């Protein structure tokens, strides 16, 4: 939190594209889903609160999760990404 706050205070951005996240791939996410969730909540809170403190006008955040469909054929291309629900391993609740 302190490092994030210092960065925002030093640069005082007007707009932020927030891409920071702890990621680790499908199997690592599945094995450590609570740890990933907690770390990402803290990262997001640090960015959003620091942005608020320095008066950022707009923050754009991206979701960090697996986006490929659970039921698909391979090879997969961009047109197929949203063709069905994401894999159950991307759910915040264990299957």
Cα angle 48, 52, 57; round to 5: 100
Q: Where along the chain do its domains lie?
A: 1-80
| pLDDT, the chain, mean | 84
Q: Is 85 a residue whose pLDDT tops 60?
A: yes
Contact 66, 89 (CB under 8 A): yes
Omega of the bond prior to 75 within 30 degrees of 0, cis? yes
Residue written as token pair 């706050």: 5
If you compute the radius of gyration of the chain from its CA atoms, what whole number of angstroms results?
16
Q: How does pLDDT run across 25-69, given as a tens digit for each residue? A: 777 877 888 898 899 999 999 999 999 999 999 999 886 566 667
**Which CATH number, 3.30.70.100, 1.20.1250.20, 1.20.5.510, 3.40.50.720, labels domain 1-80?**
3.40.50.720
The reported pTM is 0.69
Q: If 0-12 CB within 10 Å is exposed, 13-18 middle and 19+ buried, where does residue 8 land? A: buried
């Amino acid at each position: 939190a302190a490092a994030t706050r210092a960065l925002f205070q030093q640069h005082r951005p007007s707009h932020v594209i927030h891409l920071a996240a702890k990621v680790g791939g499908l199997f690592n996410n599945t094995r450590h889903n609570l740890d990933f969730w907690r770390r990402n909540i803290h990262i997001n809170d640090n960015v959003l609160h620091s942005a608020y403190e320095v008066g950022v006008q707009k923050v754009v955040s991206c979701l960090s999760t697996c986006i490929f469909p659970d039921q698909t054929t391979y090879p997969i291309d961009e047109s197929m990404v949203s063709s069905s629900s994401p894999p159950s391993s991307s759910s915040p609740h264990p299957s």
